[in-house]
Amino acid sequence: MLNRKEFLKTTALGLGAMTLAPSFNQLFAAPGEQGIPKRFIFIRKSSGIRPLEIAPLDFSDRDKALDEKKSPFEADLHKHELPKWLRGLDAHKEHMTILQGLSAKMSENVHWSFSSVMGCFKSNRNTLSAIKRATIDFELAKLFPSPFGHVELSFAGGRTGIVDGYSAPAPQTRNYCYADPETARNELFKSVLNPEAVNSDNDMLSFLQSKEGLTISGINGHEKKRQEMQVDSIDAIRKRNAELIKMSGSLAEFLPEIDAVHANGGPNASTPEKQAAMTDVLIAALKAGLTNVVTYTIDDLGTPITGLPGNETDRVGIHPLGHDEAFGGVPAWKTREQIRISHVNQIKKIIEELKQVPEGNGTMFDNTMIMYFPENGETHHGIGTESPFLIMAGNNCNLNCSGRYIRLPFLGNEGHKTLGNWYTTLLNAHGNPIEHYGDLDAEMSRKKLPQTGPILQLMS
């Protein structure tokens, strides 16, 4: 059993959870028309998305030439055949946007982006002091408050339990995340599964809120000041726990079932099994109203891939795969494609589950946006000149982009848009009038080309 000092250093509190607080004073507000919130799911993948891999296969000669030259144009997705790995979403084309041409040079690229792809800054290889601002997911969570505010899930590095995440609730602050389906389920639905533990948490939080807790923690100097700022939010967490206990009866309706293979971190579960179970927990958390914003690191270069169709008996390494190393005699490109198919299966599952839940005059998916994107740019060794986005958006999305393939002007050209412009678009469209989110691009600045503000052609 953890003592108080260990609790402070090793639990979500020690990993920065208390700085989830910016929206806690509005936890149970009812945002949006008729009290219906908008929801955002960010799905991060590793090893890049090559722009040609996400383009339709049957462009006209003219459009194909424009696409290969990276010249701006738009196409109606209903008139085109999707690549094989995207065909699981054929029935949902009306909700699909393929957004090409965004650059991400202000983010960290090559193998990993860490927090930077969500915050538009250089992360200095995951250095805490380099985190310049709250990441986009936390900014959106402020606009649509919920009991948990923001939930981060991750299969990065094959970790389990509660570990440090890649999102950031504030400058110089790293989020925590749930790294396996069992932990995610147990923590998000703790008030249903173990209400006594929630009460015990409240006792510990009361202790940590006291001066004694800060003194005994053994944390001094700058870290002590930082901890004091975090502890300022403890009362809000206690109130959240109390509300969750009151809600436990209704939450029980949404409690996800996961297979016994996921016990103790699921060491014997295959990657597709883990993904499916984590997706079940994600969907349950949305249905229960525990969160409106989820960030899901579905893999990174250290994620072991097992049980993949075509490589069922192999333990596939994403890093060697990125260097075209074959596993089990299967060409690397084909295994990479199968990995993307497994990701699309999860996106399809989220869409179809949420479409079954009535909400307002439609369904939950009508108020949901899913974004699938590479954390490190356009290839295994990304350089950030392109960062393709697959967007699946419901009918009440506040943007005008669905059903289209959109290629924006390439980096360094008039009209080019960066990752910061895309995130500014999301914020502006949903109630935050910020002039520009994130760092500016150095090349655009040298050429004195405009680069602030939203992408106006996507605004409703």
The CATH number given to whatever domain includes residue 357 is 3.40.720.10
Question: Rounded to two decimals, what is the model's pTM?
Answer: 0.91
User: Which of the residue ranges 245-259, 295-309, 372-386 would you say has the lowest mean pLDDT?
Assistant: 245-259
Taking the alpha carbons at both ends of the chain, their separation in whole angstroms is: 53
Instruction: Check whether 214 has a pLDDT greater than 90.
Output: no
What CA–CA distance (Å, rounded) separates 165 from 20?
13
Q: Could you tell me if 106 and 62 are in contact, meaning their C-beta atoms sit under 8 angstroms apart?
A: no
Q: Could you tell me if 174 and 164 are in contact, meaning their C-beta atoms sit under 8 angstroms apart?
A: yes
What CA–CA distance (Å, rounded) separates 245 from 97?
40
pLDDT, averaged across the chain: 89
For residue 34, report the phi and psi dihedrals to the nearest 5 degrees.
Answer: 60, 25
pLDDT classification of 352: cutoffs 50, 70, 90: very high
Exposed e or buried b per residue across 139-170, where buried means at least 16 C-beta atoms within 10 angstroms of its C-beta = bbbbbbbbbbbbbbbbbbebbbebbbbbbbbb
Kindly report, residue by residue over 393-430, the tens digit of the pLDDT.
999 999 999 999 999 999 999 999 999 999 999 999 99
Kindly report, residue by residue over 5-57, the tens digit of the pLDDT.
444 443 444 444 433 333 333 344 445 556 899 999 999 999 999 999 999 99
Confidence at residue 10, expressed as pLDDT on a 0 to 100 scale: 39
Domain that holds residue 312: 37-190+272-458
429-to-103, 120, 349, 393 alpha-carbon distances in Å: 20, 19, 26, 13
Residue of 438, 307, 340 whose CA lies nearest to 384: 438
**What residues have CB less than 8 Å from 292, skipping those under 6 apart?**
37, 38, 39, 40, 140, 141, 144, 145, 146, 286
pLDDT classification of 247: cutoffs 50, 70, 90: confident
pLDDT classification of 198: cutoffs 50, 70, 90: confident
Confidence at residue 237, expressed as pLDDT on a 0 to 100 scale: 77
Q: Could you tell me if 48 and 302 are in contact, meaning their C-beta atoms sit under 8 angstroms apart?
A: no
Exposed e or buried b per residue across 188-205, where buried means at least 16 C-beta atoms within 10 angstroms of its C-beta = bbbbbbeeeebeebbebb
**Domain contains 31:** no
pLDDT classification of 376: cutoffs 50, 70, 90: very high
**Domain contains 244:** no
For residue 62, report the phi and psi dihedrals to the nearest 5 degrees.
Answer: -65, -50
Confidence at residue 3, expressed as pLDDT on a 0 to 100 scale: 43
Number of structural domains (the chain) is 1
Instruction: Check whether 206 has a pLDDT greater than 80.
Output: no
DSSP letter for each residue of 234-280: HHHHHHHHHHHHHHHHHHGGGPPP--GGGGGG-TT--HHHHHHHHHH
**Domain contains 228:** no
**Domain contains 254:** no
Q: Could you tell me if 432 and 107 are in contact, meaning their C-beta atoms sit under 8 angstroms apart?
A: no
What CA–CA distance (Å, rounded) separates 347 from 353?
10
Q: What is the mean pLDDT of residues 115-136?
A: 95
Instruction: Check whether 230 has a pLDDT greater than 90.
Output: no
Q: Select the more confidently predicted residue: 13 or 87.
A: 87
Instruction: Check whether 234 has a pLDDT greater than 80.
Output: no
**Domain contains 211:** no
**Domain contains 71:** yes
Q: Which two tokens stand for residue 161?
A: 């339990």
User: Which of the residue ranges 18-27, 209-218, 223-232, 366-375 would you say has the lowest mean pLDDT?
Assistant: 18-27
Q: What is the mean pLDDT of residues 86-93?
A: 98
Q: Could you tell me if 104 and 387 are in contact, meaning their C-beta atoms sit under 8 angstroms apart?
A: yes
Q: What is the mean pLDDT of residues 207-211?
A: 59
**Domain contains 15:** no
Confidence at residue 204, expressed as pLDDT on a 0 to 100 scale: 61
With H, G, I as helix, E, B as strand and everything else as coil, classify residue 212: helix
**Domain contains 224:** no
What CA–CA distance (Å, rounded) separates 123 from 119?
9
215-to-5, 16, 205, 221 alpha-carbon distances in Å: 10, 18, 14, 12
What CA–CA distance (Å, rounded) separates 312 from 46?
21
Instruction: Check whether 233 has a pLDDT greater than 70.
Output: no
Confidence at residue 220, expressed as pLDDT on a 0 to 100 scale: 62
Confidence at residue 363, expressed as pLDDT on a 0 to 100 scale: 98
Kindly report, residue by residue over 255-300, the tens digit of the pLDDT.
999 999 999 999 999 999 999 999 999 999 999 999 999 999 999 9
pLDDT classification of 207: cutoffs 50, 70, 90: low
